[in-house]
Amino acid sequence: MNLPALALLLGAASAAEPQLDLHLWGALGTLPASDGDGAGLGGSVAWPLHPRLHLGVQLEGGLSTTAEPWLAGRPELRLYLVERGPSGGALSATLGGGARFHGALQPDLALGSALDLPGSGRILPRVQARYLVDLGGDRHALIAGVGLAWPRPRPEMPAEAPIDEPPSDGPPGSATTEPTAPTDRERWLWIPHPLRQCMIEGQVRAASEGGLQGSAIPAGLDLEALLRPTQGSLVVAARPGDRIRVGGAELPSRADGSVVSSVAAGPVDIEVVGAGRQRRFETAVAAGHALWVRGDSDDRPHHLSFDLGSAALGPAQRQALATLAANAGSWSFQLRGLYSPEGTPEANRALARARAEAVRAELLRLGLSEARLILLPPPEQADPSASPEAQRACEILPLPPGGSR
């Protein structure tokens, strides 16, 4: 590559902040083999048409395998298939068409790809390959290059104003004005209720320390807590009688069954027990935010099955009742024995009462008070629409404190 061309590239780059590339290249293969491309230097400069699409000019030169110099130049489109991530890596494809001078001027076409390797700062290693075709003849070449790329800089982070920096614009007391366009040295903050506006950090700090007379910002404002909250809030809406544990600790409920609590930001495990069932919510609370969770207990009836003609509790029934008692919360339960149609009505109703009594006795043994266990009379007859097996049971209906179903 000649020096004027290189100077042109560098000059253009400095004028418009383009992307720049310089590389060494070598031919991997050429057809016909008698006229190999050899090796040389190349470079390109490109400007973005779109964040992913850049238009530029590429210049390359070198010596062929027969030690003859050649020079090529071509406009080139570069499409970023994978854009630069935070570390700078990117993958792009290129399409160029121009001319190559090698004894005579010959139009050519170039298809290529480039991989920008992650790096630090604004200079990234670039590995690239291109397939070249002379349009006027049947010459083909595959070349590879290694070099450096200077991609267009990403938007910079704003320079933060020092904490003790005085207000950078406006007279004291102007902190309540509408926001002005920020400059590089101003850091703007969102000041929530009651101000609800963007303000310059320096002004906010001065006002909160009592340094801005007439400011709407209250003196003594805990700015750090405002800007970097560590707590969030949790509202669990449950039903009266439910018990709510947050992070394993039971929290006192309000009369409506809800819990409102401040919690540290982060994952939170919520457990709601009531009506004989348990609900768990694995969620998270964000700093400075409130999270409402619908934690109502499931108050559908429980159904405890028995064997034909039996009111005896087996291990499975006892385990089910133990789970119900452990998750009772402050709920009460109505107990209604059921029966299948086999047998006489009198015997069946007696069996149903015995089933309900057995359940009541077991729940009393498990710690529930008598006042919370209400025996209901058995139905006058078996339900013809239900299966016999489903009716050999005791129905347990959860009842919230002081309420009815």
Partner 1 sequence: MSALVRALLGLPLLGLSLQSHPARAQAPAEQPDAAMLIGLSGPAFVSLSGASPVQVDRCTGLPLGATVCTGPDSFATVRLDPSPTSSGAHDVVLMPGTCLDIEQATADRTQLRVERGSITVATPRPRGGSSTARTLAIRTRDGLAEGKDGGFRVAIEERATRTEAVTGGIRLSGDGGSLELAAGKGSRVSQGEAPTAPVDLLLSQALLSPEAGTALIRPDFHWQEVPHGTGYRIELSADATFTDIVEAMDVAEPRWLPDFLFAPQAIEGLWWRVAPYDRLGFLGIPSEARPLLLPPGVRG
Contact residues for partner 1, defined by CB under 8 A = 47-48, 50-51, 82-86, 152-158, 177-184, 188-190, 192-194, 196-198, 225-226, 229, 231-233, 235, 237, 254, 256, 258, 260-262, 265, 283-284, 286, 288-294
Shortest separation between residue 156's beta carbon and partner 1, angstroms: 6
Q: Is the Cβ of residue 192 or residue 314 nearer to partner 1 in the bound state?
A: 192
Residues sharing a CB contact under 8 Å with residue 12, sequence separation 6 or more, in sequence order: 18, 45
Shortest separation between residue 40's beta carbon and partner 1, angstroms: 30
DSSP 348: H
Q: Is the Cβ of residue 71 or residue 226 nearer to partner 1 in the bound state?
A: 226
Residue 4: Cβ within 10 Å count: 8
Residue 357: Cβ within 10 Å count: 15
Shortest separation between residue 267's beta carbon and partner 1, angstroms: 9
Residue 295: Cβ within 10 Å count: 23
Residues sharing a CB contact under 8 Å with residue 389, sequence separation 6 or more, in sequence order: 305, 340
Q: Is the Cβ of residue 214 or residue 314 nearer to partner 1 in the bound state?
A: 214
Q: Is the Cβ of residue 124 or residue 311 nearer to partner 1 in the bound state?
A: 124
| Backbone phi, psi, residue 262, to 5° | -85, 140
Q: Is the Cβ of residue 196 or residue 346 nearer to partner 1 in the bound state?
A: 196
Shortest separation between residue 202's beta carbon and partner 1, angstroms: 14
Q: Is the Cβ of residue 80 or residue 339 nearer to partner 1 in the bound state?
A: 80
Shortest separation between residue 299's beta carbon and partner 1, angstroms: 15
Task: Say if residues 292 and 264 touch (Cβ distance below 8 Å).
Answer: no
Q: How far apart are CA 271 and CA 29, in angstroms?
A: 68
Shortest separation between residue 83's beta carbon and partner 1, angstroms: 4
Q: Is the Cβ of residue 6 or residue 12 nearer to partner 1 in the bound state?
A: 12
Q: What is the CA radius of gyration of the chain?
A: 40
Q: How far apart are CA 294 and CA 291, in angstroms?
A: 10
User: 3-state class of 319 per DSSP?
Assistant: helix
Farthest CA pair distance, the chain:
116
Shortest separation between residue 253's beta carbon and partner 1, angstroms: 11
Residue 312: Cβ within 10 Å count: 10
Q: Is the Cβ of residue 268 or residue 354 nearer to partner 1 in the bound state?
A: 268
Q: Is the Cβ of residue 231 or residue 305 nearer to partner 1 in the bound state?
A: 231
DSSP 218: P
Q: Is the Cβ of residue 267 or residue 388 nearer to partner 1 in the bound state?
A: 267
Shortest separation between residue 304's beta carbon and partner 1, angstroms: 29
Shortest separation between residue 231's beta carbon and partner 1, angstroms: 7
The β-bridge relationship of strands 373-376 and 332-337 is parallel
Q: Is the Cβ of residue 47 or residue 131 nearer to partner 1 in the bound state?
A: 47
Q: 100 to each of 61, 74, 114, 310, how far by Cα in Å?
A: 9, 8, 21, 99
- Cis preceding-peptide flag for 32 (omega within 30 of 0): yes
Residues sharing a CB contact under 8 Å with residue 270, sequence separation 6 or more, in sequence order: 234, 236, 244, 245, 246, 280, 281, 282, 283, 293, 295
Shortest separation between residue 147's beta carbon and partner 1, angstroms: 22
Shortest separation between residue 58's beta carbon and partner 1, angstroms: 19
Q: How far apart are CA 6 and CA 22, in angstroms?
A: 9
Q: How far apart are CA 108 and CA 135, in angstroms?
A: 5
